[in-house]
Amino acid sequence: MLNWNVSRDFARRTLALAAVLGTGVAVMGAQTHTTPTDDTPAVSATVQAQPALFSSSSDESTAAPVLDASLLPANPFGEPMQYGGGQRSRAGGRPRYRGANTNPDGSNKFTFYAGAGLQQPIGNTWHYYTPSYAFQAGFGRQFSKKFTLPVEFDWDNAGLSGQTLGNQLTLYNNQIVYYCNLNPTTCSVNGITPYSSLDGNAHVWSFSIDPQYTFFQGEKVGAYAVAGAGFYHKVTNFTTPAQGVGYDPYYGYYTYTANEIIDHYTSNAPGFSGGFGLTYKFSRFSNERFYVEAKYVFIDNSKRQGVTVASPVNTTTIAVADEFPANSNHTTYFPIKFGIRF
């Protein structure tokens, strides 16, 4: 026979246990979904639901998950790097490059170049000098791929025309003959005689500032304009063969013939230049370029008075020191040089 009192006690205990379990589950659920406060234990924050890294469209059966970039962790190394060490601005556009020796457009901050070629005298200078070799070297600041401001050293050599050498030989010998006629003993004792031949050379060396602007740059071929101003030092030497005596420990003393400078002229003046150049890159990503450059050079020498072959030969003209006044004439020439830029 069922004991009603026992059954009633069992049911009461079961209901009490169920109420206790339900209350515990409710409390745990509230801790899981409630935003932590100052009174909430720190551990409860770790069980908050994290937002989904991937989101999908409303049609979950056909659309693939899409990565939500805003939820990715921050890049510890800063902005995404571009090729060449640059970064692209948030608004788009060209990449900006970073580096102590690199401009924002990727060009080097400094440039160096060296080349060699020839120079062709033009204008009045052509009557005195002949073409010869030339070389140059430059170093300076490159502000961008288009604009460069280098300091340049140039050496432009020149020969002397046959007419110049012939006139000078006549001028020197006329003065020697006139002097020896007045002082025969002096010329005899010192062996002063007219020259049998005459040679010579000339050159101009300069330091100038030569800004360069690249107005066209293709994948490999480029073109630029150049203009400059600076200090120019002009030299002309006249030489004649002379015998010298040398000594060799095996063969003893010997004689030799070499050109000796008998007359020397210099002129310092400001100079100006301008021209164009072409460049060719060795590869698409290379900074090294082959170049060819042609310029017009004008040196503003100051005219000096002197003696020429047309001057009368007398005591007054013999005493004049400048026997080649053409060295102080305005100088113009056309150098063409080939080289490499870095």
Q: Is the domain of 96 the same as that of 195? A: no
Q: Is the domain of 94 the same as that of 134? A: no
Residue 39, in any domain of the structure: no
Query: 4 vs 16, which has greater pLDDT?
Result: 16
Where does residue 261 fall: left (phi above 0), alpha (psi -120 to 50 degrees), or beta otherwise?
A: beta
Beta bridge partners of 82: 86
Mean pLDDT of the 45-52 span? 44
pLDDT in tens, 208-260: 999 999 999 998 999 999 999 999 999 999 999 987 778 788 878 878 788 89
pLDDT in tens, 273-282: 999 999 999 8
Residue 151, in any domain of the structure: yes
Nearest residue to 103 via CA among 74, 159, 142, 131 = 142
Q: Is the domain of 93 the same as that of 220? A: no
Q: Is the domain of 85 the same as that of 151? A: no
Question: Can you give the pLDDT at residue 68?
Answer: 54
Q: Is the domain of 184 the same as that of 273? A: yes
Q: Is the domain of 289 the same as that of 309? A: yes
**Which residue in the block uniquely carries the two structure tokens 């020429």?**
308
Mean pLDDT of the 40-55 span? 44
Q: Is the domain of 235 the same as that of 89? A: no
Q: Is the domain of 275 the same as that of 147? A: yes
Question: Can you give the pLDDT at residue 98?
Answer: 56
How many domains, the chain? 2
Question: Can you give the pLDDT at residue 257?
Answer: 81
Indicate the range of 30-34, 67-71, 256-260, 319-323 predicted with least confidence. 30-34
Q: Which band of pLDDT confidence, cut at 50, 70 and 90, is reported for residue 14?
A: low
**Where are the alpha helices (H) located in 34-129, listed in sequence order?**
none
Residue 281, in any domain of the structure: yes
Q: Is the domain of 139 the same as that of 238? A: yes
pLDDT at 48 over 60: no
CB 145 within 8 A of CB 214: yes
Beta bridge partners of 214: 224
Q: Is the domain of 182 the same as that of 99? A: no
Residue 150, in any domain of the structure: yes
Owning domain of residue 129? 110-341
Q: Is the domain of 211 the same as that of 82? A: no
pLDDT in tens, 150-206: 999 999 999 999 999 999 999 999 999 999 999 999 999 998 999 999 999 999 999
Q: How many residues does the chain have?
A: 342
Residue 182, in any domain of the structure: yes
Residue 291 is part of a domain; what is its CATH number? Answer: 2.40.160.20
Q: What share of the chain has pLDDT > 70, as a percent?
A: 71
Residue 56, in any domain of the structure: no
Burial class (CB in 10 A: 0-12, 13-18, 19+), 309: middle
Question: Can you give the pLDDT at residue 89?
Answer: 45
pLDDT at 298 over 90: yes
Residue 1, in any domain of the structure: no
Nearest residue to 280 via CA among 342, 218, 220, 339 = 220
Q: Is the domain of 92 the same as that of 120? A: no
Query: Rounded to two decimals, what is the model's pTM?
Result: 0.70
From 86, 104, 122, the end of a domain falls on 104
CB 291 within 8 A of CB 277: yes
Tokens standing for residue 232: 């120019």
Q: Which band of pLDDT confidence, cut at 50, 70 and 90, is reported for residue 73?
A: low
Tokens standing for residue 88: 């692209």
Residue 41, in any domain of the structure: no
Cβ neighbors of 120 (< 8 A, separation 6 or more) are 131, 333, 334, 335, 336
Separation between Cα atoms, residue 235 and residue 130, nearest integer Å: 14
CB 306 within 8 A of CB 322: yes
